[in-house]
Amino acid sequence: MTEQLAPTAAGSGNSATEQFRQKQLAADTPPERVDQLATEVITAVHEVIRKHKVTYDEYDALKSWLIRVGEDGEWPLFLDVWIEHVVEEVANENREGTKGSIEGPYYVPDSPEFRAETTLPMRDDEAGTPLLFQGRVSAVDGTPLQDARVEMWHADDHGLYSQYAPGIPEWNLRGTVLTGDDGGFKFRTIQPAPYQIPTDGACGKLIAAAGWHAWRPAHLHLKVSAPGYQLITSQLYFEGGEYVENDIAQAVKPELILRPTPATGGTGNEVTYDFVLDPA
């Protein structure tokens, strides 16, 4: 089996920060909106300080920790683990189609592209239970969406992501399928494992100080898009899996639970999950 090297907080954090810097960011937010949001966030912090009689020692510990978050490059990790699930909830509250979930810090655009079905790029000795993940993409009125883009990425059987942990091929367990004329797609891959977010950096210090656990349940990441329709970003979890009930990122929803069954005429498991896209 290929040797697995554990990622460091600084290594993962810096990779996530660099990927974020390459994003196409939205237009500038109007000053009135910045004033409203920043004022209310700062006021909420003031209220916590007053309510809990925060001491100077605690305040200095916070300053030191915030500096460490930046030094470790862990702002993407901190925000995606503890904040993003609420932003996603608000952003998609009026969606009629498939429920979404957080993107997380480990997305990489422009993964290898295939038509209709594929086996995700993986090592010859890739560990894990084989999984066939299949489904269809349609509009809310039921129209199949041909050439919709279904992007998938996920951790390996050790809970590690390519491009964020050393010693893993660049596009391992990452790929994009363009749907067929019936909106169908198929991915052959392996079931990922639960994983701890990196704990040797600033986020790990917070977790230890608060007595929390650092685990995310096993999940598949997907982005599904088509011209004229809203992009859906999702994470799909496995029924009965560890940490599904107490995900540190609080991103699990009942609609996102997969129930795999033994694969027909083969080894491993299979599951069908369809995506319904809202008009743009």
Q: Which of 118, 142, 146 lies closest to 132, judged by CA?
A: 118
The three-state DSSP-derived secondary structure of 83-132 is CHHHHHHHHCCCCCCCCCCCCCCCCCCCCCEEECEEECCCCCCCCCCEEE
Q: Is the pLDDT of residue 4 over 80?
A: no
Q: Is the pLDDT of residue 234 over 70?
A: yes
pLDDT computed for residue 19 by the predictor:
65
Q: Is the pLDDT of residue 246 over 90?
A: yes
Q: Is the pLDDT of residue 2 over 50?
A: no
The tokens for 272 are 């069908």
Q: Is the pLDDT of residue 26 over 70?
A: no
Calculate mean pLDDT across residues 235-260: 97
The whole-angstrom separation of Cα 134 and Cα 119 is 12
The tokens for 256 are 């996102």
Calculate mean pLDDT across residues 46-63: 98
pLDDT computed for residue 139 by the predictor:
98
Q: At what angle do helices 202-210 and 9-21 cross, to 10 degrees?
A: 120
pLDDT tens readout for residues 80-127: 999 999 999 999 999 999 999 999 989 999 999 999 999 999 999 999
pLDDT computed for residue 235 by the predictor:
98
The whole-angstrom separation of Cα 173 and Cα 107 is 12
Q: Is the pLDDT of residue 70 over 80?
A: yes
pLDDT tens readout for residues 187-219: 999 999 999 998 999 999 999 999 999 999 999
pLDDT computed for residue 9 by the predictor:
56
Domains of the chain by start residue, with CATH: 1-280 (2.60.130.10)
pLDDT tens readout for residues 29-42: 899 999 999 999 99
